Structure 1
Amino acid sequence: IDLYKRSILKGADWKKARENAEMVHEKVIDIRKVPEDRRRFGTVPVDPEAAYDAGTTLIGCDAGKNGDKLEELTSIGHEIYQEDGIHTLFATLDYVSALIAKRLIDEAFEEEVIEDGSVLGVTGRAGITGEKPRLILEYVNKRFKDVVFVSDALALGAAVMARCMNSMGTPHTPIGGRQKGPCILGMRRKLQRKKEEKWIE
């Protein structure tokens, strides 16, 4: 992914790439709600019991169990490179990433953690390079009305927050969830005054 160039996909066998990716997902990649008895999922330490007690749903992506199939994943990549070439290997990576996004989203919907009207945001090389945006859209376009692909969501998000924190959210929930509409600072002030008057009483 770090060595990605647009020309790397020239001459790729996309049908074979999709078959390769589906095989990788079937053999290696495990995506599901993290079981409560796990202390690690993939290469990440987790505390599902505490998360679920707090009302947080953990959905993980693993290679085998606790990453024990990472070497197998590397071997599969090597085989694809030898048999199909570098172009189809990179096309396979695009499909693998798109399928990861699809399966994560499917799991999130199954766990009912995505609310109506949500917008999907995808950021980082694993989601925006090559043909990944197109493939992800093919998989999720029935789930979301709008999908946003951003090169660096953290930096752009920080810039928005620095500009006006009050332009996000709703009067009762200032951060998160608001789409379109004006700055909510005025409404927040009115709401705050009502609360202050109630406290005084």
Structure 2
Amino acid sequence: MDVIFGNTDLWGRALSNTLTLFFGGGVLALILGIIVGAMRVAPVPIARGVGTVYVNLIRNTPLTLVFFFFIFGYPQLGLPKVSTMVLGILAIGIYTATYVAEVIRAGINTVPVGQAEAARAIGLPFGQVMSLVVLPQAFRSVVPPMMSVFIALLKNTTVAAGFSVLELGAVRSYLSERGENALVVLLWVALIFVALVMLLSWLQRYLENKWRIAR
């Protein structure tokens, strides 16, 4: 326990940065993923093509390379300067959005086609058909795979450790400089991640039970 209570400053910053990466990247991934997922099933060929290219290009690129682009490539574009944390959120959010989009697309395909056709028959445009009829039903069927995506996102935050972001994946090197046992530190890091994943698993069960009753 001395590893924790003797270094609360580092552990607090590392956990805070990990959660910031997770929630920031998660919100970005969810918003962008819903948009791209809708584009993937849109009746407009250009929208489908853009969504397909985005998903195939980003998803097949290693996350480390996406981080490399944002951390080292973004400053060369002449865009407004932002912190490494913001660039990390952009990298992990844009990368995870491809998996969110595929989960959303799978959920949309579970909704009976007749419901979308009925919505269009009463004059609803594509945007309202998706937001009012299709997506609310799709979300209920994709809770387990969506939560798996967010669990993967949580673990992927450790990639930021290689880009000067002090989060749980990097805390070992900092504590090693203070003379702490690296193995003990790694075991604590693993325990924290297990606790966070268990919390997400509980949230998954809660949402499944809630929406199952709502049906």
Please classify the TM superposition score into its range, dividing by the shorter chain length: 0.3 to 0.5
**Higher relative contact order, chain-length normalized (CA < 8 Å, sep 6+):** 2
Larger Rg belongs to: 1
Which of the pair is proportionally richer in strand?
Answer: 1
Give TM-score scaled by structure 2 length. 0.35
Give TM-score scaled by structure 1 length. 0.37
